[in-house]
Amino acid sequence: MTETYRVDLPLAQKDRLKAKARELAVPVVTLVEQAVEMILGGEVKPITTPREVTLEDAGEIFLAHIEPAQAALIRDLCREHARQPYEYVLSYVYLAHERGETATMVGETVLERQAPASGTAFTDALVCEHCGKPLAASKRGQRFCPDPDDGTAGCGRQHELARLHAHRAQRAKGGDNRNAPTPQNLDVYRRAAGTVE
């Protein structure tokens, strides 16, 4: 009788395992079975001493604790763009900071303690940094208008995209294209958008 176990490995470790299996011309499962037998037979001692946790490790640990569909999406993006999960996690943290967002994972009691008395508005951001319109801030440190409910890009996102495009244009003038994404054909999305009613 066989019992199935699912083990999530860091992308770098998966790549090394696949490369070794190709080198030896054996299935990956065979390598894993041999490693387990070696440990159970006492030939190799399991790692028991704590080791330094790298950013790559932290990214994988984070993915193990979020919705599987979200984790799969991040892993797909990593494979497609040759990135690591921690880069996507940290880039969202940076984006949330730039937008002036509050962490939604913070417990409600903490947010309630930080909230102003009812009827009191935050006054530390009175003008949207992107569109220049008056801003009734709903949270401390808010810099941009709230995101619209219709799913379009809000001022915070537009501000970051404009900054990113300006940065890329500046780098392109200097001939630095090492991290430039490959151009995508958006025609299929435009056609699909035209068929939606």
d(CA 118, CA 31): 62
d(CA 14, CA 20): 10
d(CA 67, CA 70): 5
CB 133 within 8 A of CB 145: yes
Q: Which percentage of the chain shows pLDDT scores above 70?
A: 70
Q: Tell whether 138 is covered by a domain.
A: yes
Q: Residues 39-47: what's their mean pLDDT?
A: 72
Q: Tell whether 75 is covered by a domain.
A: no
Q: Which residue reads 């190799």 in tokens?
A: 44
Which tokens in the block code for residue 48?
């028991």
Q: What does the buried/exposed string (b/e) look like for 20-47 if buried means 16 or more CB atoms within 10 Å of the residue's CB?
A: ebeeeeeeeeeeeeeeeeeeeeeeeeee
Q: Residues 118-141: what's their mean pLDDT?
A: 70
Q: Residues 75-82: what's their mean pLDDT?
A: 90
- pLDDT at site 125: 47
Which tokens in the block code for residue 165?
């495009």
CB 180 within 8 A of CB 168: yes
Q: Tell whether 160 is covered by a domain.
A: yes
- pLDDT at site 182: 63
Q: How sure is the predictor about 37, in pLDDT bands with cuts at 50, 70 and 90?
A: confident
DSSP state of 54: P
d(CA 176, CA 170): 9
**Model pTM?**
0.34
Q: Residues 169-193: what's their mean pLDDT?
A: 68
- pLDDT at site 107: 45
- pLDDT at site 108: 47
Which tokens in the block code for residue 70?
């979200």
Q: Tell whether 162 is covered by a domain.
A: yes
Residue 7's SS3 state is: coil
Residue range(s) defining the domain that contains residue 145: 123-173
Q: Tell whether 127 is covered by a domain.
A: yes
Calculate helix-pair angle for 11-24, 55-64, nearest 10 degrees: 100
Q: Tell whether 179 is covered by a domain.
A: no
CB 110 within 8 A of CB 102: no
Q: Tell whether 187 is covered by a domain.
A: no
Q: Tell whether 6 is covered by a domain.
A: no
Could you give the number of structural domains in the chain?
1
Q: How sure is the predictor about 100, in pLDDT bands with cuts at 50, 70 and 90?
A: low
CB 103 within 8 A of CB 96: yes
Closest residue by Cα to residue 142 from 111, 96, 100, 94 = 100
Average pLDDT over the chain, rounded to whole?
76
Tell me: pLDDT of 45 over 70: no
d(CA 142, CA 100): 5
- pLDDT at site 44: 72
